[in-house]
Structure 1
Amino acid sequence: MEALFIFIVKSSGLIALFYFAYFFLLRKETFFNSSRWFLLAGLITSVVLPFVVYTKVVWIDPVPEPVDYAPIANYHHYTSGYGSQIVEEESFEINWNLVSLVVYTIGFAAFMIKFGIDFYSLNSVLKGKKVEQQADFKFVDIEENIAPFSYFDYIVYNSSMYSASELESILEHEKVHSDQHHTIDVIISRIFCILFWFNPIMWLYKKAILQNLEFIADNVAAKKISDKKAYQYTLLKITTHDTCVAITNHFYQSLIKKRIVMLNKSQSKKWNYWKYSAVIPALGAFVLLFQIKTIAQEKKELKEKTEKAALASKKQDGEVYKITKSTTDQELKDLSAKLKSEHNVDLQVSNIKRNSDNELISIKLKVVKENGKVQIIEMNSTKALKDCSIVIGKDEDGTKAVSLITDDQIDHPVLIQTRDVIVKDNESDVVVEDRAAPVPPVVPVAPAAPVFPASPMPPMPAIDMSKMPKPPVPPKNSNDKVGWAKFEKDMADFEMRMEAFQPDLANYEKQIEDIMAQREAIFQKQMEKYEVAMDKFNFDMDKFNQDIQIKYGRDSKEYEKNMKQYEYDMRQHELNMKQHEKDMKQFEKDMKQREKELKKWEKENNKRS
């Protein structure tokens, strides 16, 4: 579904690119036929180019991998008896992809029905009418009050509504539509409008196609008619018809003014053809940005050397007992005895089958280790078997380890230790079983998000209003110099006494700032620790997923269970972050409330003063 949405977005972008190139550069030019092919090429490009992907190969040096975890060819099946209880909180989530698909399907179905109705209407107009064949055209004279139109080689008109000269102009116009197969353009544009019904640019694109087709027909028809003005008068007369048939080239269009302007416009200069190439750089940028897929491949020679070196290193760490297609029954018995005497490992060989050349085509090896674990290899084929080996080595803790190596391919040796594996290819079936269940890794626990510290705010300062000085009253006479001098002296004294009340407010503001600074410092340290814990959690989850894949396989139920647990933890993490965001909003709300109270307090003081 995601691929479908990506395709729709890319196609819509290309449609918009071609439309704007036509609208800003080409719509006023008289290269009507070239514009026709440009617009059609835009529709085809918008569908084809999103599927054209250029693959870029980047060669990198291979990363040496321990042979113990080398990939097993073709098909892996991991099993385990490990199980865990996962309590998952049910929550309702809207699948927006599904909603978008349903909305798109409803719109698509509605426009398809409309398309079918239009075909039915067209068939109703043509059904039962007399058809007159002339050259490559089929003329249908109807009685309905419908604007003249053409549909492939059909030209439909009502001769009783027009004079002879008007009818000549109409037929010449429709002959151009029919002769140049303009109906195909109309149907293609209509189909694209159904596919991209949600895109308004597509509807404008369709309008541009129909407009350009009318320009083509007018341009050719006007050259065949001696009286060009009479043709233009016919255009004006046909505008009185408000009934037309969809999915056809009808003579009436709601762009008569533009058509008359283009009829009288002089031919564009040829050097303006460069405008058609203006879209090429944009297409190149589209390919470079969205249509290049980079694939990293390891250098083959160095990869082979690395793998062989890793295998050789493993062999040097322990004893290797190889079984080839030519190994005899007696050699198998001797091998069993040697493993028992030297390493206390029981090797049981059964289901031995050979071909006419006395080569092994079937064998079953059962290894019973010192700790009681059982490991089985069973190989069956119609051809000679590939080589396999029994490697006796040591684990990291120094204990003895027995491993089975199946050399299905020289370039890709496979080492199998304590896991249940089934390996299959086209020529042989190799089955490896291990009766001991692996120890599952521990699921990491996501850290809890910190909460912004909260504590009571200091109360607003209480001011004794009885001690508040009263402001002086200015003299009523503006020319009273003595009175104004006294007023200025009283105002200076009033301001000095009012300053005595300012320390309370300043002290309160400082208390608020100190408290918030302490909270922010505490919260910032908690957030730093939380981010470090989240980085460690993500690292542990990556390692956990790798361990799960190695032990159980990506397709196993155990892997699926643990991934659900991981998803549950991540959802819990999202809830924690939402709670954190909620706390921060509450904090901002409290601060705004404090600011509001301070402003109110200052306003009251100003009123009293």
Structure 2
Amino acid sequence: MEALFIFILKSSGLLATFYFAYIFLLRKETFFNSSRFFLLAGLITSVVLPFVVYTKIIWIEPAPAPAPIPTVSTTAAVQTASTADAVQDYNYTPVYKLQIAAEEKSFEINWNLVSLIVYGIGFVAFMIKFALDFYSLNAVLKGRKIQQQEDFKFIDVNENIAPFSYFDYIVFNSSLYTASELENILEHEKVHSDQKHTIDVLITRIFCILFWFNPIIWLYKKAILQNLEFIADSEASKKITDKKAYQYTLLKITTHETCVAITNHFYQSLIKKRIVMLNKNQSKKRNYWKYYAVIPALGAFVLLFQIETIAQEKKQKETAAVVQKDTIKETKELVTITKNTTDKELDDLKGKLKSNHNLDFKASDVKRNAEKELTAIQIELKSESGKKQTVSMNGNKAIKDLTFAIGTDNNGAKTISIEGLNPPTPPNAPVAVNSERVVIRNFNDSDAPIPPTPPVPPVFPQGPMPKTPVMDMSKMPKAPKPPKDADDKVAMAKFEKDMAEFEKKMTAFEPDMRAFEKDMEETMAKREAIFEKEMAKYEIAMDKYASEMNKYQKDMNFNYNFDFKFDDKDMKLQEKEIRLQERDIKLQEREIRIQAIEMKKQAAEMKKQAKEMKKEADEMRKQEKNYSSKS
């Protein structure tokens, strides 16, 4: 309940910050659309920002830990230690007081429960009001004749209600207004509908239901609705020639007392302010700084209330001769491996630890001498808490006993820990081994080997392509038309001159096409050479990455994770993606070449057309000569 109370205080403070910033700085400015989003951002910020907490960690020196108790190996230096938990008993004697007179039990009021009940009553009441408003709106819209115009749905009603819009619905009573007044009203409502102002109305209504007890939210709602009217008035007045008639329409609509809730009403209170804002000059752009004035206040809010300081102890550096083990609160079982432990017993031990205690145990790299005695073994352990340990023993002689303790830690989780090498053997307990060379490793998540980073695949070189010659048919030189009268010598002479000019222009395109094809081949060849070099480097890097991943796999299998396997599937997928990218580049190049060939074909066809026209002109000249000789 305290956390909820703190959230309400923070949210109310943020809401008040945005509201007073709007009232004192922005209310008289004409940046109505910017103010709309400013006010909506205030609502969202007041709910989201109290949950944004920045955690600041302060590192402190740890308390001195008890000195570790090293265990001694008979043949080699053993890297292990055990930490003893200090237990202190406190003896106390209970003290009983004899009450001579019984105290009367006082009645206490649970104010948290009272507050919750009051909030619930208010919430339910406003939800019922919200549902009734929706029902009333549906009653107005249901069964009405709808006139669809563009994106708007017009509904002409007979009731004496103020015009309003709800999403793309615009409702009005045409019998109450003149044609010009109705035009003004519809232009106003179209702005509400087109800019989706109904969403703003619904959002503010939801906030008023959730925070009905906060007076700031009701003032905030009024500011949002008033700004929406400013937006609609401003946009509508741009499309209306007679602004005075629009203002008179505003005054006329004030006579309507019936309004439908959760809609954008044409009639709102504060008509005087709306008329003043209609006649006000546009604000200067330099006043936009006022929207950013709230940022320092938000920064101060975060610094004062949203930074949580956590003190953590510094981790002590572990020396190579010390190995921390799981803290066992209560030891339930001891497991020991001896030189005579068989492979079957090791397998049975694995299943027993897993089924009885949910502990992971794995034995590998097992070697035996001629007497079937263990000389080498690697044991991997994993507790329920996530603690991982590896014990590796290798030598020429039979291993010595090694004991593991199974119990529970302070959190109640099952854990297994190395108790020591060659300890005294308890009765009826299996026994573990030690040898000439013993290596014990403990791993936390922070100690895990870091996997290598895969190389980034190369990208085919991009850049501007050679500029293609203009081969658009509409921009090509037009072939001249032969004269209708072949006897007209002046027209024939002009036609021959135009034909010669046309052939000259067509011939001029051939060098441009050859140059374009040459540039295309040179450009693509250079880029392919660069890409091939980068691909060769990438393949070398991928081979190196594969070898590093194999090494990482061995380290993980040996030191950290029992079942880790490296799969080069991702590497193959990367190579496949590069090949697909290379194929797309080839297809793109092919399309460019096809385009060049088609353009060349067009030029050839136009040249052929020019030759045919020249041939036709020659035939016309022959006809002219024949006609002259006959005459």
Q: State TM-score, norm by structure 1.
A: 0.52
Superposition deviation, residue 325 in structure 1: 5.2
2:254 is equivalent to residue 239 of structure 1: yes
SS in 2 for 1:140: strand
Superposition deviation, residue 329 in structure 1: 8.1
Superposition deviation, residue 425 in structure 1: 4.0
2:355 is equivalent to residue 355 of structure 1: no
Native 8 Å contact 2:14 2:46 kept in 1: yes
Change (3 A) 1:65 1:213: same
2:203 is equivalent to residue 185 of structure 1: no
Change (3 A) 1:407 1:135: closer
After superposition, give the CA deviation of every residue in 1:174-212 in whole Å (9 maximum; x if it has no partner). Answer: 000000000000000011111110111100000000000
In structure 1, the residue matched to 2:158 is 143
2:317 is equivalent to residue 326 of structure 1: no
Native 8 Å contact 2:57 2:309 kept in 1: yes
SS in 2 for 1:383: strand
Superposition deviation, residue 409 in structure 1: 4.5
In structure 2, the residue matched to 1:383 is 361
Question: Which of 112, 122, 141 is the equivalent residue of 1:126?
Answer: 141
Native 8 Å contact 2:385 2:413 kept in 1: no
Q: Distance in 2 between matches of 1:141 and 1:407?
A: 71
Native 8 Å contact 2:201 2:225 kept in 1: yes
AA partner of residue 137 (structure 1): F
In structure 2, the residue matched to 1:334 is none
In structure 1, the residue matched to 2:22 is 22
Change (3 A) 1:307 1:26: farther
Native 8 Å contact 1:146 1:243 kept in 2: yes
Q: Distance in 1 between matches of 2:346 and 2:285?
A: 80
2:239 is equivalent to residue 224 of structure 1: yes
Question: Which of 260, 268, 274 is the equivalent residue of 1:253?
Answer: 268
Where in structure 2 are there 5+ consecutive unaligned residues? 67-82, 328-332, 364-383, 390-403, 420-631
Q: Distance in 2 between matches of 1:205 and 1:226?
A: 33
Native 8 Å contact 1:151 1:249 kept in 2: yes
In structure 1, the residue matched to 2:223 is 208
After superposition, give the CA deviation of every residue in 1:51-101 in whole Å (9 maximum; x if it has no partner). Answer: 111111222221134555489xxxxxxxx9x99798997543222222111
Change (3 A) 1:305 1:46: farther
AA partner of residue 337 (structure 2): S
Superposition deviation, residue 328 in structure 1: 6.1
Question: Which of 110, 113, 122 is the equivalent residue of 2:125?
Answer: 110
Change (3 A) 1:420 1:193: closer
Q: Distance in 1 between matches of 2:34 and 2:235?
A: 14
Superposition deviation, residue 173 in structure 1: 0.1
AA partner of residue 303 (structure 2): L
Q: Distance in 2 between matches of 1:140 and 1:196?
A: 34
Q: Distance in 1 between matches of 2:320 and 2:219?
A: 60
AA partner of residue 192 (structure 1): F
Q: Distance in 1 between matches of 2:254 and 2:194?
A: 24
Question: Which of 98, 113, 137 is the equivalent residue of 1:98?
Answer: 113
Change (3 A) 1:310 1:222: closer
Q: Distance in 2 between matches of 1:59 and 1:306?
A: 24
Superposition deviation, residue 427 in structure 1: 8.5
In structure 2, the residue matched to 1:293 is 308
Superposition deviation, residue 164 in structure 1: 0.3
In structure 2, the residue matched to 1:489 is none
Q: Distance in 2 between matches of 1:32 and 1:168?
A: 23
Superposition deviation, residue 289 in structure 1: 1.0
Question: Which of 173, 180, 203 is the equivalent residue of 1:165?
Answer: 180
Change (3 A) 1:48 1:325: farther
Q: Distance in 2 between matches of 1:187 and 1:70?
A: 63
Native 8 Å contact 2:357 2:414 kept in 1: no
Native 8 Å contact 1:325 1:384 kept in 2: no
Change (3 A) 1:169 1:85: farther
2:435 is equivalent to residue 424 of structure 1: no
Superposition deviation, residue 112 in structure 1: 0.7
Change (3 A) 1:86 1:92: farther
Q: Distance in 2 between matches of 1:39 and 1:86?
A: 63
- Which gives a bigger RCO, structure 1 or 2 (Cα 8 Å, sep 6+)? 1
Native 8 Å contact 1:147 1:252 kept in 2: yes
Q: Distance in 2 between matches of 1:239 and 1:60?
A: 69
Where in structure 1 are there 5+ consecutive unaligned residues? 72-79, 315-321, 331-352, 364-377, 386-405, 431-609
AA partner of residue 10 (structure 1): K
SS in 2 for 1:5: helix
Q: Distance in 1 between matches of 2:321 and 2:137?
A: 71
2:130 is equivalent to residue 152 of structure 1: no
Change (3 A) 1:13 1:421: closer
AA partner of residue 244 (structure 1): C
SS in 1 for 2:312: strand
AA partner of residue 285 (structure 1): A
Native 8 Å contact 1:150 1:177 kept in 2: yes
SS in 2 for 1:294: strand
SS in 1 for 2:154: strand
Question: Which of 258, 280, 284 is the equivalent residue of 2:295?
Answer: 280
Native 8 Å contact 1:235 1:256 kept in 2: yes
Superposition deviation, residue 9 in structure 1: 1.7
Q: Distance in 1 between matches of 2:321 and 2:63?
A: 10
After superposition, give the CA deviation of every residue in 1:250-277 in whole Å (9 maximum; x if it has no partner). Answer: 1001110000000000111111100000
Q: Distance in 2 between matches of 1:236 and 1:102?
A: 44
Q: Distance in 1 between matches of 2:174 and 2:117?
A: 48
Change (3 A) 1:284 1:420: closer
Change (3 A) 1:234 1:283: same
In structure 1, the residue matched to 2:530 is none
Q: How does 1:4-83 map to 2 (within 5 A)?
A: 4-66=4-66, 68-69=84-85
Q: Distance in 1 between matches of 2:212 and 2:410?
A: 52
Native 8 Å contact 2:359 2:414 kept in 1: no
